[in-house]
Amino acid sequence: MQDIAYDHLEKIRDLLLSKGHTPGSLRYHVATFGCQMNARDSEKLRGMLEYVGFSESPDEDCDIVIYNTCTVRENANQKVYGRLGELKGKKKKNPFMKVVICGCMMEEKAEEERIKSSYPFVDIVFGTMNLSEFPRLLLKNLTDKEKQYEVTEIDRKNDDLILSLCKEDPILPTKRKYPFKSGVNITYGCNNFCSYCIVPFVRGPERSRRKDDILDEIRTLSKDGVIEIMLLGQNVNSYRDPGRDDITFPRLLQMVEKIDGIERIRFMTSHPKDLSDELISVIKSSKKICRHIHLPLQSGSTKVLSQMNRHYTKESYLSLVDRIRNQIPDISLTTDIMVGFPGESEEDFLETCDVVERAGFDSAFTFLYSRRDGTPAAGRADQIDEETMHERFERLLSLIHEKSGEVSKRFLGQTYPVLVEEENTHDPSLMTGRLPQNAIVHFKGDASLIGRIIPVTITESRDFYFFGESASS
Ligand code: 5AD
Ligand code: SF4
């Protein structure tokens, strides 16, 4: 599959050259909606387009626009349709222009049909399983001038499909957003079927990549200047090497730790039901694994958690938090919380607030429950009305602000190794970097520091970010 993808890319490059498009003259724009997995897929799309000679455009006034979509909540879909409408006019002005849509939204039959019927100017559509087929689809569109639709239907009963998905792991060219850090997929898909969530339907069955492929990729990244990696999966804790059942996530982390040049290891996301004591002790004894765990709570009510199919209770979540903090006192915990799950009562909501009071989260992503067709929760009659949902959301938000303001005080006056990521967008005399705990810090410095890990002393705490001072500035 890898050779075929490169074969097609080379054919595209030759074709464009033969039509007089010099390298860099054609421009692309990839817009990413959604999570870190999509961000990583977009780096591969960028890599493929640069490989054939396109150069990046900051906006959609260009020759090929790709929307890498998300569908986890309804508003993610709305954002895509909002921007898609504007492309029609741009395409009239630039007849060469190609419009491509891929990602999770395209795995929903209804959305694919909507694109086909209402947005006929879209040239190429492909699904989450078809990333490596993009070169073939683009080549065919360029030569035949016909629209290309390729969405592999996710069939969990088809063992051959699942097996081929596990085996197929082509290394595609990538263009990273940051030269010094990168995401690395370790699992794809999800088998958890939380009752509100569409991800298992659009990203398919969970499959782990072979450890050797993961380690090879990280070694290559390290040689290319990457010092921080983020291991990615919907539920990294259930990682198992497909050939070796004993290679679990903690074992994988220990192997990654040994790779020269990698200085920081992060991972995302951890399902609380699978976070083992072994993982806690591996983090504790590691010199490279960052002191940050993103541990989605979703709800603090044991009743709601059970209806969400989350496989933990309020008490077991809190006791996990205690175990983590006892072993790794400098850990930062962040979380995802949803309000308005069907049937959520005021008492249930107060249980969620109680966990926020007690867990000491550094920050939290908060979401209004969004009804996703095909999920078990969408069929429930006891949906929560908008007004109640919004009112709870606001209360939760102010509680999270208050609590995170309290816990972030522990950083003040402390010095941390900070990976300098970029110039501050508002004030170029400031640099922006990240603590091992994942929090963002702004401090005086210059662009020569970008990509380096330097000590920064935290001087001021704001909403979910900090100001600091560096001895190097
Ligand atoms: N409605 C609202 N939030 C959702 N999430 C997943 N599905 C839904 C939904 N239907 C949230 C969860 C998850 C995060 C990535 O998105 O909190 O952890
Ligand atoms: Fe969705 Fe649950 Fe899987 Fe996360 S673990 S992707 S919330 S089904």
Q: List the one residue out of 225, 220, 284, 226 whose CA is nearest residue 253.
A: 284
Pocket of ligand 1 (CB under 6 A): 72-73, 196-197, 296, 298, 336, 338, 367, 369-370, 372
Q: How far is the CA of 387 from the centre of ligand 1 (A)?
A: 19
Q: At residue 230, what are phi and psi to the nearest 5 degrees?
A: -120, 115
Ligand 2 atom closest to the Cα of residue 191 is 3
Closest residue CA from atom 6 of ligand 1? 197
Closest residue CA from atom 2 of ligand 1? 369
Per-residue pLDDT of the chain (473 residues; tens, 9 = 90+): 668 899 999 999 999 999 999 999 999 999 999 999 999 999 999 999 999 999 999 999 999 999 999 999 999 899 999 999 889 999 999 989 999 999 999 999 999 999 999 999 999 999 998 999 999 999 999 999 999 999 988 877 776 766 666 555 678 899 999 999 999 999 999 999 999 999 999 999 999 999 999 999 999 999 999 999 999 999 999 999 998 889 999 999 999 999 999 999 999 999 999 999 999 999 999 999 999 999 999 999 999 999 999 999 999 999 999 999 999 999 999 999 999 999 999 999 999 999 999 999 999 999 999 999 999 999 999 999 999 999 999 999 999 999 999 999 999 999 999 999 999 989 989 999 999 999 999 999 999 999 999 999 999 999 889 999 997 65
Ligand 1 atom closest to the Cα of residue 372 is 10
Q: List the one residue out of 263, 251, 175 whose CA is nearest residue 208.
A: 251
Q: At residue 275, what are phi and psi to the nearest 5 degrees?
A: -85, 105
What are the structure tokens assigned to 278, written together?
């072994």
Q: What pLDDT is recorded for position 167? A: 56
The distance from CA 111 to its chain's CA centroid, rounded to whole angstroms, is 21
Q: List the one residue out of 188, 173, 169, 288 whose CA is nearest residue 224.
A: 173
Of 37, 192, 195, 294, best ligand 2 pocket probe by most atoms within 8 Å of the beta carbon: 192
Of 203, 307, 334, 338, best ligand 1 pocket probe by most atoms within 8 Å of the beta carbon: 338
Task: List Cβ neighbours of 85 (8 Å cut-off, separation of 6 or more).
Answer: none
Ligand 1 atom closest to the Cα of residue 298 is 17
**CA Rg value for the chain:** 23
What are the structure tokens assigned to 351, written together?
């249980």
* Upper half-sphere CA count for residue 70 (Cβ side, 13 Å): 18
Of 271, 307, 336, 373, best ligand 1 pocket probe by most atoms within 8 Å of the beta carbon: 336
Q: How far is the CA of 237 from the centre of ligand 1 (A)?
A: 18
Q: How far is the CA of 367 from the centre of ligand 1 (A)?
A: 7
The distance from CA 202 to its chain's CA centroid, rounded to whole angstroms, is 15
Q: How far is the CA of 101 from the centre of ligand 1 (A)?
A: 22
Q: List the one residue out of 267, 187, 264, 271 whose CA is nearest residue 231.
A: 267
Dist. CA 107–CA 118, nearest whole Å: 17
194 within ligand 2 shell (Cβ under 6 A):
yes
Ligand nearest to the CA of 377: 1
Of 33, 72, 75, best ligand 1 pocket probe by most atoms within 8 Å of the beta carbon: 72
Q: What pLDDT is recorded for position 163? A: 61
Given a contact cutoff of 8 angstroms between Cβ atoms, the answer to whether 35 and 162 are in contact is no
